[in-house]
Structure 1
Amino acid sequence: MENIQTSRAQLRRRPRVCRQFTERFFHGLFLMLGLVTVGCVLLITIFLVLSGIPAIRDIGLFDFLLGDTWESTAQDPKFGILPFILTSVYGTAGATLFGVPVGFFTAVYLAKLAPLRVKSVVGSAVSLLAGIPSVVYGLVGMLILVPGIRTLFHVPDGASLLAAIIVLAVMILPSIIKVSVTALEAVPHEYEEASLALGATPVETYFKVTAPAAKSGIAAAVVLGVGRAIGEAMAVMMVSGNVPNMPSIFGSVRFLTTAVASEMSYSSPGSLQREALFSIALVLYLFILLINAALNFFLKRSKEG
């Protein structure tokens, strides 16, 4: 009898031991994957710092960041990236200004107002838009948007900062819409029911209750959109003219990303030109880090408030 009871106790103990082992295994696996991600970020950071600092030291920090002339292949080369910095800032800000409101209102419509059939069709279109390669955006912009700007505004060349802003605004829409829809749908329905019970209309509820409750997810969507806008190269290279001018809305310009992409292929290994291109990549990387840090700071501050 005692042997039977001991066997039963062992059988009951085995599933518990298996569950504990499984939990520990997956906990260790997820921890390892997280450390791998952090390690990749650290390796990229170290590589960019080691590759970009020598050119900044040789050129001079202020001459590099505040110089307004980029002539990397001239007999007396100059490596001023201020036009690239301003172009990237203006282009990203313009794309965000146009893309974020459109993406947010589309997300609210899809998450709360759209019929199921419309939501399915538009959601499929958004997913398809997210899967289109950037070179296709650039090709469509080069064949349709650039001639349209030239004809509409009577400018010599439609390849300009305006064309790049429009293309980037379209490209960031899928990221903003999909993440915002997920965040809005994750808000508990009790919030909306309480608002409706107090006499608010559905539209007021969605914009004054649901959207504020989902602001962290919407902010993450904006961060993803800004990251794609500031890091895009191929599409903006095809529609911006890729000329190192100081930025103007109808002028041909060059972004930080396109400066690296357009000259890296023919720069000599070990030359100051290639080192300067790595320095541009370092500046771009720091820009993205600062944008993410600033948005996270304001989000944390708003939550504490």
Structure 2
Amino acid sequence: MRKNEKMSEAIPHMVFLLCGLAVVVFVLCISVYLIISGIPAIRTIGLVPFLSGTVWRSTAAEPSFGILPFILTSMYGTAGAVLIGAPVGLLTALYLSKAASAGTARMMKTAVRLLSGIPSVVYGLVGMIVLVPFIQSAFHLASGATLLAAIVVLAVMILPSIVSVSVSALEAVPKEYEEGSMALGATPYEIYLKISVPAARSGIAASIVLGVGRAVGEAMAIIMVSGNVANMPELLKSVRFMTTAIASEMSYAAVGSLQRNALFSIGLVLFLFIMLLNAVPNAIMRKGDTKSR
């Protein structure tokens, strides 16, 4: 009987262990593949010219492979999307978890889930039909496909991740914290902002990291609203992100060519960029938790 119980406990344990190991193996395989595929172009072009060059002409007679405009555009676009999306998402999560009635919260949570399920191409299509012409007419531009349009689309796209995870984190805050603050005379808004949010900061930080990951890795919607031109980033100018550079040229880049290898190098830089964006907030949160103890 005890052997059967041990076996019934060991089998799920092994299944969970194998699933966890599979995830680690997938990440390692992707990392190794990107390194092997991306290093040759960096060796040929040179690390400094590749990262700091401002001109990208991959198909010219004398090609140039500078990706600084792509890096800066991805940074500015992601930062702009987070500056817009994070406050809106956090305030929405506070309302849904603390202030909204049960019926309203249920309806809005359903809307957030539907928003997260919309394909990227639909966001891009709506942005191209509605947002791009609006920016063009509002700022009297030749084309409304700009960095501003990309930032707005990305801000909308990261909202579901921020709202969903933040709601879960805020709902997990022990009621005793809020009830004790209320007994001391704190107003509801003071409780929400000074008690609930700090107590749920780990979950809120995780939601923002998820949003940043989606913003950095998005390609299809951005390629439809950003203009996809390799310019240095300006708010009202057509730009190209690292992801859209890969998506727009990989289909016709010859296998084994310097152009194709350079696109893999962009993928390697993007991968390292995303890893850095995930590592920095986690390190800051761990440091904050250590100090609070």
Q: Same fold (TM over 0.5)?
A: yes
Match of residue 219 from structure 1: 205
Provide structure 2 residue ranges, at least 5 long, that are not aligned to the other structure: none
Note the C-alpha offset of 1:153: 1.1
Of the candidates 256, 273, 287, which is equivalent to residue 270 of structure 1? 256
Match of residue 27 from structure 2: 41
Match of residue 252 from structure 1: 238
TM-score by length of 2: 0.98
Of the candidates 67, 83, 93, which is equivalent to residue 53 of structure 2? 67
Q: How does 1:200-219 map to 2 (within 5 A)?
A: 200-219=186-205
Note the C-alpha offset of 1:195: 1.1
Match of residue 8 from structure 1: none
The superposition leaves residues 204-259 of structure 1 with CA deviations (integer Å, 9 ceiling, x where unpaired) of 11111111111101110000000000000000100000000111111000000000
Write the letter of the residue equivalent to 2:270: L
Of the candidates 59, 72, 76, which is equivalent to residue 86 of structure 1? 72
Provide structure 1 residue ranges, at least 5 long, that are not aligned to the other structure: 1-13
Note the C-alpha offset of 1:22: 2.1
Q: Which secondary structure does the structure 2 equivalent of 1:245 belong to? A: coil
Write the letter of the residue equivalent to 1:110: L
Distance 1:188 1:286 in 2: 37
Identity %: 62
Match of residue 9 from structure 1: none
Q: Which secondary structure does the structure 2 equivalent of 1:252 belong to? A: coil
Q: How does 1:1-305 map to 2 (within 5 A)?
A: 14=1, 16-305=2-291
Q: Which runs of 4+ in 1 moved over 3 A?
A: 16-19
Moved more, 149-158 or 41-50: 149-158
Distance 1:28 1:202 in 2: 47
The superposition leaves residues 257-281 of structure 1 with CA deviations (integer Å, 9 ceiling, x where unpaired) of 0000000000000000000000000
Distance 1:296 1:220 in 2: 8
Distance 1:81 1:92 in 2: 17
Aligned residues: 291
Note the C-alpha offset of 1:193: 1.1
Q: Which secondary structure does the structure 2 equivalent of 1:68 belong to? A: coil
Note the C-alpha offset of 1:202: 1.7
Match of residue 7 from structure 1: none
Write the letter of the residue equivalent to 1:280: I
Q: Which secondary structure does the structure 2 equivalent of 1:158 belong to? A: coil
Distance 1:29 1:194 in 2: 43
Moved more, 215-224 or 204-213: 204-213
Distance 1:264 1:203 in 2: 51
Distance 2:181 2:10 in 1: 43
Distance 1:39 1:133 in 2: 28
Distance 1:70 1:237 in 2: 17
Question: C-alpha root-mean-square deviation of aligned residues, in Å?
Answer: 0.8
The superposition leaves residues 90-113 of structure 1 with CA deviations (integer Å, 9 ceiling, x where unpaired) of 000000000000000000000010
Distance 2:198 2:7 in 1: 41
Moved more, 276-285 or 209-218: 209-218
Flag the structure with larger Rg. 1
Write the letter of the residue equivalent to 2:42: I
The superposition leaves residues 155-179 of structure 1 with CA deviations (integer Å, 9 ceiling, x where unpaired) of 1110000000000000000000000
Write the letter of the residue equivalent to 2:82: T
Note the C-alpha offset of 1:17: 4.0
Distance 1:284 1:93 in 2: 15
